[in-house]
Structure 1
Amino acid sequence: MYSHMMVGSNDTDKSKKFYDALFEKEGRADDKGRLSYGRRGSVFMVSRPIDGNPASIGNGSTIGFNFDSPEEVDAWHQRGVAAGGTAIEDPPGYRENAFGKLYLAYLRDPDGNKLCGLHRPAQ
């Protein structure tokens, strides 16, 4: 359904350091300074807003990343905190709701964007 997700940043150098650590790979930058990280056909991007105004977080917005195991989610979360992100909400773990049983971990990046690591166990 989605081709890519993009978040705004006021400091792309700081964002690059955070996301390089979070994804364990170096992001690619284009000629406009936008950062790009690919995984399994999806692309996550970071950019200064093209309208020249400061980047701001979307209240109620969350960007979720799929992982193959709870251990991968935990490692992703730990890398994010170590690279300057902020752990938010409940600690990483299983939650059960109308969407079924999910393993979730939440972070805010250095600009305040809300990120989620998610593993869906076999039901």
Structure 2
Amino acid sequence: MIGYVTIGVHDMAKAKAFYSELLADLGASVLMDMGRIAFIGKSMKEPLLGICVPWDEQDPAPGNGNMFAISAGSKEMADKLYHKAIELGASCEGKPGQRIPDMFYGAYVRDPDGNKMTFYVFR
């Protein structure tokens, strides 16, 4: 069910070096690097660790830059989960939509306690 988890960092170069080395024995490496965020894992079809400079460029303290993601399996299911979360009291953090052309579709919410999550599809 968990697709990836992101953690906020201060220095991407140091964080990529640290986690690449730390997780190499598990067969993980940087699989996608988009500058502000990089994903580390064994394959795009298995859970990943995302390291990022927080979107708002504020201090990457726990909770800022952190998010969990649920693999929805399809764009339709991502939309459904997004709308259900809103109905259950979540707030919008990014309406469903294509984020990376032909690669990533996501819908973002914060649960009633403020925890950020996304329902996503990688293709």
How would you bin the TM-score normalised by the shorter chain? 0.3 to 0.5
Task: Give the structure-1-normalised TM-score.
Answer: 0.48
